[in-house]
Amino acid sequence: MTAPNTPDVIVIGAGAAGLFTAIAAGKRGRRVVVVDHAPEAGRKILISGGGRCNFTNVDAQPQRYLSSNPHFCISALRRYTPRDFLDLVERHGIAWHEKKLGQLFCDSSARDILTMLLAEAADARVELRLGCAVGEVERTGDGFVLETAQGQMCAPKLVVATGGLSIPKMGATDFAYRLAKRWGLSIVTPRPGLVPFTFTPQDLARTQGLSGVALDAVVSTSGAKAAAFREALLITHRGLSGPSILQVSSYWQPGQPITVDLTPDLDLAEHLKAAKRARPNAELKTILGDVLPRRFAERLCGDGGTGEVESRPLRDLADKALVDVAARLKRWSVVPAGTEGYRTAEVTVGGVDTNDLSSKTMEAKAVPGLYFVGEAVDVTGWLGGYNFQWAWSSGWVAGQAL
């Protein structure tokens, strides 16, 4: 019998991707040890989806992922699909529901997903070593040697599943990038993704007192990576958040403006002109308050002296002025000062360069036996269950190759 410190595979990182890789390899008869410095496995799973884990998205198309190589994710997503993961969830009797836009959540608790993964790992005889810091990692002729808090370990295959940089207080580290660089792999510069925007003091003055106001909007960025998302936008005391903002943040580059259509379903110019005919004595802010949150409309119309447009009775406003007002609100623009950073970012955009990995196996092309999976890799999903699906798919394909 082999000593426990010399398994077939060592996986570093007991998050979604590491656990799923270990399960897949374990089911194929590999002896797998998963090492993590955190005291508990899958901590991000537990806090995900507001505690209900948006564990996949039925529409996990490759186009919903950002990567320097947009084709890289295709193979893994085709081979292990949202339906495959849902079958597993159902085999474990976990109740789920589709919330919106193909997003699947647990009915009860994210812990159901973690419990399922741990049961699968136990079934696949995967050994978990938690609270176990990893020190030096060396390559030898026949594999990898790790110095860990629980002694030296070696294995012919090493899987790095240590995730990205988001939420450092939960144990996120740059371990994957450091290791990749050391063995000659490139890194696509990481940056926070799915993250709220912050405002300059001047722009904060424009939205002061509006914290908590939410509206349905189309938010877009232009430039090399143009993108537009229609979902809720939320004004915060630091700037902007809400799903549409988080989505766009993954595409945003510092210094770029974002543009917001505040009335996506409405031809606002026509609406204002019709209102002028029907209610000539009504103030502009009253009419705007019918189609936007009232507090927001009042602020837009000069309340507090920081407004965007002047409120007057509609009869005093020429049609051209109404068209101009509509144009400004259909293309409300702001240049964010920045983002809230890794402290609150749900993901890290960028990571281990996919050009250096096999899309079939996730193995480093130049370092046989070394694999990278999950968020550590330069594949980042939209908000809505896409990132967990990438963790499952990349972990599963790696598991078939180990």
CB under 8 Å to 86, separation ≥6 — which residues? 56, 96, 104
**Using the 8-state DSSP alphabet, how is residue 352 labeled?**
E
Q: How far is the CB of 325 from ligand FDA (least distance, A)?
A: 38
Kindly state whether residue 385 participates in binding ligand FDA, applying the rule CB under 6 A: yes
Q: Which of 5, 62, 145, 171 binds ligand FDA (CB under 6 A)?
A: 171
What's the Cα-to-Cα distance from 182 to each of 50, 149, 352, 362, 376, rounded to whole Å? 37, 22, 12, 18, 15
**Using the 8-state DSSP alphabet, how is residue 316 labeled?**
G
Q: Which of 18, 190, 242, 350 binds ligand FDA (CB under 6 A)?
A: 18
Q: Which two tokens stand for residue 339?
A: 């983002």
Q: Which of 175, 252, 342, 372 binds ligand FDA (CB under 6 A)?
A: 175
Nearer to ligand FDA (CB atom), residue 289 or residue 351: 351
Q: Which of 37, 64, 191, 276 binds ligand FDA (CB under 6 A)?
A: 37
Cβ proximity of 43 and 361 under 8 Å: no
* Residue 94 DSSP SS3: coil
Q: Distance between CA atoms of 173 and 94, rounded to whole angstroms? A: 31
Residues 42-101 that bind ligand FDA (CB under 6 A): 43-44, 47-49, 53-54
Nearer to ligand FDA (CB atom), residue 166 or residue 393: 166
Of 67-75, 165-173, 273-281, 319-327, which segment contacts ligand FDA by CB under 6 A? 165-173
Q: Which of 15, 102, 243, 351 binds ligand FDA (CB under 6 A)?
A: 15
Q: Which of 24, 126, 167, 325 binds ligand FDA (CB under 6 A)?
A: 167
**Using the 8-state DSSP alphabet, how is residue 301 labeled?**
T
Nearer to ligand FDA (CB atom), residue 258 or residue 352: 352
Binding mask 332-351 for ligand FDA (x = CB under 6 A): --------------xx----
Q: Distance between CA atoms of 277 and 290, rounded to whole angstroms? A: 16
Residues 143-162 that bind ligand FDA (CB under 6 A): 161-162
Q: Distance between CA atoms of 73 and 53, rounded to whole angstroms? A: 22
Kindly state whether residue 17 participates in binding ligand FDA, applying the rule CB under 6 A: yes
| Minimal CB distance residue for ligand FDA | 15
CA 387 from chain centre, in angstroms, equals 6
Nearer to ligand FDA (CB atom), residue 134 or residue 188: 134
The per-residue b/e assignment along 123-134, b for 16 or more CB within 10 angstroms, e otherwise, is ebebebbeebeb
Kindly state whether residue 239 participates in binding ligand FDA, applying the rule CB under 6 A: no
Of 85-93, 171-179, 279-287, 354-362, which segment contacts ligand FDA by CB under 6 A? 171-179
Kindly state whether residue 118 participates in binding ligand FDA, applying the rule CB under 6 A: no
Q: Which of 82, 163, 239, 336 binds ligand FDA (CB under 6 A)?
A: 163
* Residue 64 DSSP SS3: helix
Kindly state whether residue 38 participates in binding ligand FDA, applying the rule CB under 6 A: yes
Kindly state whether residue 220 participates in binding ligand FDA, applying the rule CB under 6 A: no
Three-state SS sequence of 226-242 = CEEEEEEEEECCCEEEC
Catalogue the E-assigned strands of 304-346: 332-334, 338-339
Q: Distance between CA atoms of 95 and 248, rounded to whole angstroms? A: 31
CB under 8 Å to 309, separation ≥6 — which residues? 284, 300, 301, 302, 325, 328, 329
Kindly state whether residue 387 participates in binding ligand FDA, applying the rule CB under 6 A: yes
| Site residues (vs ligand FDA, CB under 6 A) | 12-18, 36-38, 43-44, 47-49, 53-54, 134, 161-163, 166-167, 171-173, 175, 346-347, 374-376, 385-388, 391
